[in-house]
Chains A and B, each alone.
Chain A
Amino acid sequence: METFLQVLLSGATMGCIYAFVALGFTLTIAAAGVVNFAYSEWVTFGSYFGVTFAVILGWPLWLALGASIAGCIAIGWLFQLFVFTPLEGRHFLTSVSATIGIALAMQALVTLLWGPYPLTLPTFFGSSAVQIGTISVFPHNLLIIALAVLIIGGLQLALTRTSIGLRLQATAQDPMAARLMGIPVRRMRTLAYCLSAGIAGLSGFLVAPLFVVTNTMGFGLMLKGFAATIVGGWGSLKGAVYGGLLVGLIEALGAAYISSEYKELIAFAMIIVVLLVRPRGLFPERIAEKL
């Protein structure tokens, strides 16, 4: 039981991180059908921004967090101009290859800008664990889970309760009809891109203390995020969150109760099973196919 709870906690933490990544990944898909394989580098830049502001410049952590998010949003803005807008409406593979190219360039840029050595970022609450009952809890993990609940919940509220959120949803669901409602589709998409980038900045800042900041840290994360995106259901925000949690938990439980050697194998096998049972993901979008 003790082990189970402990594993559950760590699996949930990773799940929340995957959910963040999947969410950011899905936002651009939902808003304009653009797949962003450079998302790994967005997150990486978020981490490096955090190190730059908090460690190199010595700003307070919360200020550095804000600045990292802002930095990533600036990247998102540039992507909107030079990558996403030209890709809207193109084949999914075109956006894959274009964003992979940018990702390669960004990864090389990281080494040039920040040097080759790994870096790290302190947490808000130090590095020692707190004992709660029989399980030990790392405050930073709790922060990640709490922020995930807060941000994902807040985003859910913003998307469903505010008029701008509803307009964003409307743009995603039917851009043509959205224009007829007077919704500025271009600006809504930019908003979605910036949201996606903001999430990357936040995720980058949050994972930095857990992950050690290196130029290749984002790739594995994005792979899991990508899997979560599809397992959840292509383009479904809700699916992304549940998909992320699912992948995180399967990994942790598989490693704890079956074998750490075969942990990855179990995770991928589970993905295969999920897809065979639900060929359109856990939360398929309800759009009728027409012939």
Chain B
Amino acid sequence: MRGAGNRYVFWAVALAAALAAPLALTNNYQLGVAHQALIFALLATGYNLLLGFTGLVSFGHIALFAIGAYASAILVVTFGAPFLVGVGAAAIIAGLVGVVIAMPALRIKGHYLTLLTLALGEVIRLLIRSMESLTHGSQGFSGIPRPEIFGMSFRAGVPLYYLLLFALVLGVAFVWRIEATRYGRAFKAVRDSEIGAEVCGVRTDHVKVLAFGVSAVFAGVAGSLYAHTMRFISPEFFSLGLTITLLAMVLIGGRGTVIGPIVGAILLISLPEWLRFVKDYYLILFGLAIWLCAIALPDGLAGAAARLLQARNSVRGRASLRT
């Protein structure tokens, strides 16, 4: 039980640090990086439900992020809907598309699933690009306002930071809760042994569709927040390169853990910024850091930390079992 206690302390400290962070984030540059980190942390947290919890390697997740961004932008700008309606619609539409993607994905496994989702994602992105009357096509969608809720504007950096943090906290709390329910267990059971889960009575098809759907809702919300934070979106941004970045966030942070994707997103967003002091060499260092992480920490940063803790506990545990 001590472990669980530590967990609460850890999250409380993390939340306090996040709440206090704007004190240290003194300019729009730092706030801007923090905004992106929060949005991608939310996106990666949802992606982790699919990749880390359920073990389904989808390369089409960014398309759902794009759907969220466009749905919200179109509703708010073109149809004058309030921001909250935009976010809600983004969540619902992305979630539904996620479920639709899941259908063909049920039949297909492993690397073939990876390519199938990649192709589905690209098809979605290209459809967004070709629906010019709605999405302005490849010109991109500009003039998206910053969020406004019941007359309260999140135009300035600090309030927006707290709005994004609030969304992330909600998302993390959701994942944290789901981990303790039958669905959290079923997700991981499907990942660890699909046949084992099925034979235990878990309806694995149902579980996979659910995982796709829920992670798509996260992507939709994150997409909407992205659109209203950056105020400009274009089909080119939601490309395969971003999918790979997202994947790296979850892997480097540690898939299958709650904290992993958050750490990964913050690291991948901010590390290139830290490394700017080496000027032209920063991307080389950044790339080498990713390589080193992957080779040295196959379970990601969170996985490595967990193993360290576990090794310490098991030494203690064994000692107590012996008595």
Contact = CB atoms under 8 A, between A and B. Distances in A.
Contacts of B289: 101
A272 B104 contact: yes
B287 A108 contact: yes
Contacts of B283: 104-105, 107-108
A78 B241 CA distance: 25
Contacts of B108: 275-276, 279
Contact of B287 (A105, A223, A230): A105
Contacts of A261: 130
B284 A102 contact: no
A230 B286 contact: no
Contacts of A226: 115
A86 interface: yes
Contact size class for B? Answer: 35 or more
B123 A269 contact: yes
Interface string A83-102: 10011001111111111111
Nearest to A109: B284
Contacts of B290: 97-98, 100-101, 104
A101 B287 CA distance: 4
B42 to A, nearest CB: 21
Contact of B291 (A83, A111, A227, A275): A83
B286 A268 contact: no
B119 A268 contact: yes
Contacts of B241: 219
Contacts of A108: 280-284, 287
B120 interface: yes
A237 interface: no
Contacts of B294: 94-95, 97-98, 101
Interface string B98-123: 00000010011111101110111011
Interface of B is mostly: helix
Interface in B18-76: 57
Contacts of B285: 105
Interface stretch (B143-151, B180-188, B221-229, B247-255): B247-255
A238 interface: no
A101 B104 CA distance: 31
A109 B195 CA distance: 46
Given A96-B247, A98-B290, A106-B287, A230 B115 contact: yes
B112 A91 contact: no
B287 A97 contact: no
B247 A97 contact: yes
Nearest to A105: B287
Nearest to A106: B287
Interface in B190-228: 195
Contact of A97 (B109, B240, B248): B248
Contacts of A90: 298
A112 B196 CA distance: 52
A189 to B, nearest CB: 17
Contacts of B288: 101-102, 105
Contacts of A265: 122-123, 126-127, 130
B295 interface: yes
Interface of B: 57, 104, 107-112, 114-116, 118-120, 122-123, 126-127, 130, 195, 240-241, 244, 247-248, 251-252, 255, 280-295, 298
27 contacts: A83-B295, A94-B294, A96-B244, A97-B248, A100-B244, A100-B290, A101-B291, A101-B292, A105-B286, A107-B287, A111-B280, A223-B240, A227-B115, A227-B118, A230-B112, A234-B111, A262-B126, A265-B122, A265-B130, A268-B120, A269-B123, A271-B115, A272-B104, A272-B119, A275-B115, A275-B116, A279-B107
Interface of A: 37, 83, 86-87, 90-109, 111-112, 219, 223, 226-227, 230-231, 234, 261-262, 264-265, 268-269, 271-272, 275-276, 279-281, 291
Q: Which 4 A-B residue pairings sit nearest by Cβ, starting from the closest?
A: A101-B290, A105-B287, A104-B287, A98-B294
